[in-house]
Structure 1
């Protein structure tokens, strides 16, 4: 039996040889070795995540600002669909105009593997300033654009690439500070995107009649610059940089060998295929159904206002009853709402109710998707795995809205085809999340997954 006393020179040690005079007890050596091991791995151990504290919540503040400027901007692009088709790009079809917003969403997500790889190696220190510059510069150039290809390059590519460099570091940094409260913290951070989607459409709508389109875009760019200064000062990772490793394709493809990861990505892909269609077309469809232009232009803001609560509340519940469990529920609810409300009713009141409920349900997806992915990932690979998932769903984001626009044209300006397509894709995504939940946590309905 190992004791706390120091063995005498005549007593055999555990190894069968007498100890030297200054040798520590063998049990002390064992404990010391274990402590060294614990110290080496403790920074990644769930018990070592602060789940709070000044630095952790400052990171959430910085992440909130990042999501306001990146995903928040993407959430308000629906207002440009209606504005461009009535003004600068009125000679183009809705499907052609929708390529601008589709490119924005695509570019923001498609560069995920590259940004994620760099983030895992060096953190957010250099990514955020570059993203800030590109996002602001792209919007400044959009403010002086006059041709279709100008908007494609400046708003659809340059600004969106900057948003991508802002979005991924926020997801990664905040995830390193929280474990038990991760979905809640990510939900608070993601609510910035909803708030951005509320404020910026109203701001642009009010500014254009007063100062013109150009200065409206410049003022928005200055707002983003101010918030990103705050983000650059507060957003930090808890983990030290691990350094660069060779950029290999297998670093991204190997994750798809995991059934839980692959099924989660498939669910997110189908969900993204349909999710943005109401954001892009609710203004146009509301006007067609008799809603006044003034009220219709507020529908995007209504969607995003409800999404603020959708970002936070389901994440808080998901930390307690299972993030995958809540993801399945809100995904099915989103699809059902399109068929039950948006497609079957035409009055002002049902449209507003749909905007509120749909904004809440889809808002939950934005905060829960990264939380679900982090739940099945090593913290050191958060950047790469987030990037791999969002790169895949960027293809859905790129093609989903133009497909919807083509369906509107196919149905002579009606929205039935678009609504059927959107609702079906959301339900397919929800079903994929069911299989992902089973792969991660088993078939037990009561399991917290």
Structure 2
């Protein structure tokens, strides 16, 4: 396997250097010390000038500065995926229930179909994941502050313009493009901290893990707790925003609802701008051009990309249509259906935390596959026969809990199997595989829903099949990566 072979080559290089020390035959304590004892000048000549030095005391693992960074990243998480969770679910609510859909279908966009209007939230999801590679490169070169400032300006300005929009293209540009670009910029500092990945040390044509120096993280022993706190921001935002929006649209109208949300986001992002900063200066790593095609020549990784692509369709079907189905099929009251999205996001909060903890015990790939398969099973077992409000609430809780692993562990899978110089690139490919279904799901789902009298049944079957099929494809990828060992912690 690519990741395994890479690690073995690194170890063998290390062992070779230790055994052939010409000076005294002693085994050096590290790769760097072994090279220095052989010939310090030659060793320095072989190291690129932009390689970070090993002079670092390590992460503080706490303290005011470290926890302020967690606070700022939490604000980013609240303002970006927390907002998208709300917006994606609210667009599917039917007219008559306090939602964006009510304003669009009854107001300025009454001449457009539900499927056409669905392109607005779909664009937000597409930019959220599709811009991941570009935003990651900027983050790796310049750090988080430039992204947070740019993301705040785009996100808030887009929402303010949306409050003034009257035509379809104005809503597309303001919410579907401008605000979405801002969300993508805020998502990387709040979710995928590329600097938390191991820094690399280069010598004799080989890249070595520089994890011992811990130059790029604020936490070491308490990293799990810090990351767990940070990722709750999106779920908390997904709980607060739906309730606030559904109430305010009915009482104050759409324009001031959007402006109020924009002011809240602006206040949180001011905190993020003042608190989030890298502990060390960013040092970008370059990857040889001939390695760009390497992931596509690796069958297990291609299957991972395909599995992520298929799974996104399955996971996002209930995310987009949960509230609308509860209102139309489960006969939920207008007041209760407004809280269904918040219930889903609250369950997702506990699902993400539990998935992260369990992944450390049974393996990230194993946890991801199990959780996604359970999501598909819950669609067939609970969502398809849902005709009562209590069952709809139960499904929202169960699916929110199981699907939380899809969001929290999607980025961890490629990191587990990628050679260090390709980690960022391969992570970007996985995000791209998620972005395309995110863009097309709502229009496809809307077309399926309107195609026949059994539209809801067809939508549910589509979601369940995609979840199980995607889980099976990722399982096949894992089977190949582990040399066909199904009981291995991986």
Which residue is equivalent to 1:172? 193
Is 1:285 the equivalent of 2:325?
yes
Asked whether the 8 Å contact 2:379–2:460 carries over to 1, the reply is: yes
* CA contact 2:315–2:403 (8 Å) conserved in 1: yes
Superposed CA offset, 1:31-77 (max 9, x none): 798437699999899x9975943455444333322221111111112
Equivalent residue for 1:438? 479
Shift of 1:26: 5.1
Map of 2:91 onto structure 1 = 80
1:126 — aligned with what?
146
Q: Answer with 1 or 2: which has the greater Rg.
A: 1
Q: Which moved more, 1:234-243 or 1:202-211?
A: 234-243
Comparing 253-262 with 304-313, greater Cα deviation is found at 253-262
CA distance in 1, matches of 2:234, 2:130: 18
**Alpha-carbon deviations, 1:259-281, whole Å to 9, x = none?**
44433322221111122221221
Aligned partner of 1:62 in structure 2 is: 72
Cα shift at 1:193: 1.2
CA displacement at 1:187 relative to structure 2:
4.3
The 8 Å contact of residues 108 and 161 in structure 1, kept in 2 or not, is answered as: yes
Shift of 1:335: 0.7
* Deviations, residues 220-277 of structure 1 (Å, cap 9, x unaligned): 111111222222233334553224869x986654333444443332222111112222
- Equivalent residues in 2 for 1:15-414, closer than 5 Å: 34-35=32-33, 50=59, 52-54=61-63, 57-77=67-87, 78-82=89-93, 83-86=99-102, 87-88=106-107, 89-170=109-190, 171-173=192-194, 175-176=196-197, 177=217, 185-238=226-279, 240-243=281-284, 252-289=292-329, 290-377=331-418, 382-412=423-453, 414=455
Count of matched residue pairs: 425
Tell me if structure 1 keeps the 8 A contact 2:151–2:183: yes
What is the distance in 2 between the residues matched to 1:90 and 1:376? 49
1:297 is paired with a residue whose SS is helix
8 Å contact from structure 2 (residues 375, 467) kept in 1: yes
The farther-off stretch of 113-122 and 159-168 is 113-122
Per-residue deviation, 1:152: 1.1
Q: 1:67 to 1:36 in 2, by over 3 A?
A: farther
CA distance in 2, matches of 1:125, 1:154: 23
1:354 is displaced (CA, Å) by: 0.2
Cα contact 1:182–1:371 (8 A) shared by 2: no
Q: 1:337–1:358: 8 Å Cα contact kept in structure 2?
A: yes
SS, match of residue 118 in structure 2: helix
- Once residues 130 and 222 of structure 1 are traced to their aligned partners in structure 2, the CA distance between those partners, rounded to angstroms, is 16
Offset, 1:413: 7.4
Report if the CA contact (8 A) 1:175-1:374 is conserved. Answer: no
Deviations 1:365-419 (A, max 9, x none): 1111122233334566554333221122111111112111000110247311111
Report the CA distance between 1:311 and its aligned residue: 1.2
Mark the CA change 1:388 to 1:93 in structure 2 (over 3 Å): closer, same or farther. Answer: same
Secondary structure of the residue that 2:266 maps to in structure 1? Answer: helix
The whole-number CA distance in structure 2 between the counterparts of 1:140 and 1:368 is 33
Tell me whether 58-67 or 362-371 shows the greater mean CA deviation.
58-67
Partner residue in 1 for 2:40: none
Q: Secondary structure at the match of 1:298?
A: helix
The answer to whether the Cα contact below 8 Å between 2:139 and 2:194 also exists between their aligned partners in 1 is: no
**1:83-131 deviations in Å (ceiling 9; x for gaps):** 3443333332221111111111011111122222222333323222111
Larger mean Cα displacement after TM superposition, 314-323 or 266-275: 266-275
* Counterpart contact for 1:59–1:174, Cα < 8 Å: no
Residues 244, 312 of structure 1: alpha-carbon distance in 2 compared, 3 angstrom cutoff: closer
Deviation at 1:136, TM superposition (A): 1.0
Contact conserved, 1:60 with 1:174, CA < 8 A, in 2?
no
Change (3 A) 1:60 1:257: farther
Distance change >3 Å, CA 33–CA 315, structure 1 → 2: closer
CA contact (8 A) 1:273 1:396 kept: yes
Aligned to 1:22: none
The answer as to whether partners of 1:109 and 1:393 remain within 8 angstroms in 2 is yes
Distance 2:176 2:82 in 1: 15
Distance 2:478 2:222 in 1: 20
